[in-house]
């Protein structure tokens, strides 16, 4: 999910640099300000509903590694049983 500020910065740059001028600078700044306010609003909403750490951990998580610890424990238990002659299989 792209940041509203990043999207508004790209749009603002396109608006301003297509035909630089005072009017275009004001329009670009207004778009940038709207993106900033939208970003603050969405960040506050995520903070109030889930908490910042939970929200960021969901964004940065990798589904490939969700079951990595479980499979690692299973492999370790299997290996230790095969090396210990006193444990039954």
Rounded Cα distance between 24 and 85, Å, is: 79
Q: Considering the chain, what percentage of its residues have pLDDT values greater than 90?
A: 43
Which residues are CB-contacts of 36 (< 8 A; sequence separation ≥ 6)? Answer: 4, 5, 8
Which residues are CB-contacts of 65 (< 8 A; sequence separation ≥ 6)? Answer: none
| Per-residue model confidence (pLDDT) at position 43 | 85
E strands, the chain, where?
A: none
More confident residue, 73 or 28: 28
Query: Stretch 38-64: mean pLDDT, rounded?
Result: 78
More confident residue, 56 or 38: 38
pTM for the whole structure: 0.58
Rounded Cα distance between 9 and 4, Å, is: 8
């Amino acid at each position: 999910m792209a940041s509203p500020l990043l999207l508004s910065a790209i749009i603002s740059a396109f608006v301003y640099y297509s035909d630089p001028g005072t009017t275009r600078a004001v329009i670009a700044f207004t778009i940038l300000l709207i993106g900033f306010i939208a970003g603050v609003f969405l960040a506050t909403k995520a903070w109030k509903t889930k908490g910042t750490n939970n929200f960021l951990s969901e964004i940065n998580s990798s589904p490939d590694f969700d079951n990595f610890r479980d499979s690692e424990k299973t492999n370790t238990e299997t290996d230790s049983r095969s090396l210990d002659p006193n444990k039954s299989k």
